[in-house]
Structure 1
Amino acid sequence: MLLALLGVAAFSLTFPSTAWGLESFGPWSLVALRGVLAALIAGAFLLAGRVPVPDRRHWAGLAVVGGGVVVGFPLLTTLALRTSTTSHAAVVVGLLPLTTAAFAALRTGRRPSRAFWLAALAGAAVVLGYTVRESGGSLSTGDMYLFGALLVCAAGYTEGGRLAAVMPGWQVIGWALVLCLPLAATGAVTALAVEPVRLTAHGALGLGWVAAGSTFLGMYLWYRGMASIGIARASQLQLAQPLLTLVWSVLLLGEELSPAAPVAAAGVLMCIALTQRARS
């Protein structure tokens, strides 16, 4: 559980770091460079550890991980952050635990208890209610990007958690990154040719963190945690991620939080406690 929590802490900095990265790079350039740098880091670790290439039967699962957490989620959330604040995006992505638990139930055949689902649905309701309230009763184009990101990321998390039971978590994300390197490199060359670059300290730090911290280190910790405590239970720990991101959005970006944020935070924390007490 501690490993999964550390992964969540790393993920909580993703949106603020992406906002910083967008100060220097276009959305497509940022996502592509993020993938290239993370893949190079992962490749170096795989080579240093002389890790053998995974069995052919695992490559389909690694492709799902790559498509979900290496390409799909970063791209869709980066596009959303062009118009949405990091605090708003963080709350929408608070629905990720429920979608991950649903994907896990379908993929693994495990059925969490009724109490688990009630607590998970309650947490999702708190997040959704907060989102609609902050959006003035309607959902924006940025929200649509974010909801799409939820689906692809949940699929990637679920498949990665399953693979982490047969290989170390850092190898799961490492091979997924390497698998996506040709696509990321091609995207980087193409995007940099059409999107202007205005390099700043914030931009460089943002790119560095989303590549090394969020994409590699965070995913390594996250998959290790999921392999130990189960996908469904680990996914509910991510209900704390929006709360941490809200803090970072204030401290790092100077965003102002609405009065409803503490209420939503208290509700989400209560749901986390309930899901962790519920047995499968």
Structure 2
Amino acid sequence: MSRRLPAIAPVAPLGAAVLWGGMYVVSRWGFEAIPPVTLAFLRVLLGGVVLLLVVRLREPTRSFSRAEWSRFALLGVWVAVTLATQFLGTALTTASQGSLLTVLTPVFTLALGVALLDESLSRAKVVGTGLALAGTLVVVAATTDLGTLDGGAGGGSLGGTVGGLGVLALLLASLGWALYTVQGAPLVRRYGALTTATYSTLFAVPLLAVGAGVEVVTTGADLGAISWTPALLAAVGYLGVASTALAWYLWYKGLEYVDSGTVAVFFFAQPVVGTVLGVLLLDEQAGPAFLLGGAVMAVGIYVVSSARGE
């Protein structure tokens, strides 16, 4: 039966994609100065603290059973897996290989939603997702060097091995976020987006702390040598507050109203937003192919988000 969705249903996940697209510009302002897993830890720690403060103000006395805590903890595992493999994969691959995260996450989410939650696979969802995927591929091709798929490490055997590990990490990151989305949906509809985003984020903090410690020991990174410039502090602040606390809440907020496959299609907007911000703030160029791909992607998102009874 058809039903009218509230305006927040498409606006929330689109807002999350916009905030994630902003990470592209932020990265150019210097947050690569911190080792990848350590950066992921700082991001989630800051985001978790912000979310917890808000939850405690809104729900100061709420408690959960052991079974409920275990479900939040599982989501925390997927958060940790996603961020660790995403940051490592990005560090080991080229920009074009990194686009795997954007392209495959919605595809994995759609498939897992059907398999694990028995979500419907309507014609509108298939067609819209296909259009969004095609448009995103055009955008990626128009804004990255697709001739550097050897791993970005010089083209030798080591480069190919490192690049292959990077691609594998990005595939795991895509799958991890898809599982975070799909397995979080029932909790979101029971406890709300804010509560679910908060406690799943907090459970990821100790896991990423261990990963950061292993990273420092194995790489010999000198954290004391990090130069905490205003740009770096702003970058970490954006990652923690905007692209974690706010964006993850908005992502889950969409799940309060529509299924995971519908929310996932908004993920395709991330590279388009990143490119637009690059043009506006970094004097980068975007040609007709980018505009065409962005338009096709927007049509695909509209088809999925406007479908009735999803």
TM-score class normalised by the smaller sequence: 0.7 to 0.9
Within the candidate set 93, 114, 134, 2:102 is matched to 93
Kindly tell me: are residues 6 and 229 of structure 1, through their superposed partners in 2, closer, same or farther at Cα, counting changes over 3 Å? same
Do the aligned partners of 2:41 and 2:208 also contact (CA within 8 Å) in 1?
yes
Do the aligned partners of 1:77 and 1:145 also contact (CA within 8 Å) in 2?
yes
Do the aligned partners of 1:99 and 1:150 also contact (CA within 8 Å) in 2?
yes
**Counterpart-to-counterpart distance in 1, 2:96 and 2:235:** 16
Do the aligned partners of 2:90 and 2:170 also contact (CA within 8 Å) in 1?
no
How many Å apart are 1:230 and its aligned residue?
A: 2.4
Matching residue of 1:181: 205
Instruction: Mark the runs of 5 or more structure 2 residues left unpaired by the alignment.
Output: 1-8, 152-162
Matching residue of 1:67: 77
Q: What whole-Å deviation, never above 9, does each CA across 1:162-203 have from its counterpart, x for those lacking one?
A: 211001211111111222232233444555673232322222
Instruction: Select between 85-94 and 197-206 the one with higher mean Cα deviation.
Output: 85-94
How many Å apart are 1:12 and its aligned residue?
A: 2.0
How many Å apart are 1:29 and its aligned residue?
A: 1.7
**Counterpart-to-counterpart distance in 2, 1:178 and 1:53:** 15
Q: Does 1:195 align with 2:221?
A: yes
Matching residue of 2:267: 238
Matching residue of 1:118: 127
**Counterpart-to-counterpart distance in 2, 1:126 and 1:139:** 24
Matching residue of 1:214: 243
Q: Which amino acid in 2 is paired with 1:154?
A: A
Where does 1:3-152 land on structure 2 (aligned, <5 Å)? Answer: 3-20=12-29, 22-48=31-57, 49-68=59-78, 70-82=79-91, 89=98, 92-128=101-137, 131=140, 134-136=145-147, 138=149, 140=151, 141=163, 142-152=166-176
Kindly tell me: are residues 169 and 18 of structure 1, through their superposed partners in 2, closer, same or farther at Cα, counting changes over 3 Å? farther
Kindly tell me: are residues 79 and 108 of structure 1, through their superposed partners in 2, closer, same or farther at Cα, counting changes over 3 Å? same
Q: What whole-Å deviation, never above 9, does each CA across 1:211-262 have from its counterpart, x for those lacking one?
A: 1111111111221121112222222222222211111233445544465322
Kindly tell me: are residues 181 and 91 of structure 1, through their superposed partners in 2, closer, same or farther at Cα, counting changes over 3 Å? closer
**Counterpart-to-counterpart distance in 1, 2:33 and 2:23:** 16
Partner-residue secondary structure (3-state), 2:121: coil
Instruction: Select between 140-149 and 199-208 the one with higher mean Cα deviation.
Output: 140-149
Kindly tell me: are residues 258 and 66 of structure 1, through their superposed partners in 2, closer, same or farther at Cα, counting changes over 3 Å? farther
Kindly tell me: are residues 126 and 221 of structure 1, through their superposed partners in 2, closer, same or farther at Cα, counting changes over 3 Å? closer
Question: What is the aligned-residue RMSD (CA, Å)?
Answer: 2.9
How many Å apart are 1:109 and its aligned residue?
A: 0.8
- TM-score, normalized by length of structure 1? 0.84
Partner-residue secondary structure (3-state), 1:185: helix
Q: Aligned residue pairs: how many? A: 279
Matching residue of 2:159: none
Partner-residue secondary structure (3-state), 2:267: helix
Within the candidate set 182, 192, 196, 1:172 is matched to 196
**Counterpart-to-counterpart distance in 2, 1:183 and 1:20:** 27
**Counterpart-to-counterpart distance in 1, 2:302 and 2:136:** 16
How many Å apart are 1:137 and its aligned residue?
A: 8.4
Do the aligned partners of 1:87 and 1:242 also contact (CA within 8 Å) in 2?
no
Do the aligned partners of 1:119 and 1:275 also contact (CA within 8 Å) in 2?
yes
- TM-score, normalized by length of structure 2? 0.77
Instruction: Select between 206-215 and 180-189 the one with higher mean Cα deviation.
Output: 180-189
How many Å apart are 1:9 and its aligned residue?
A: 2.1
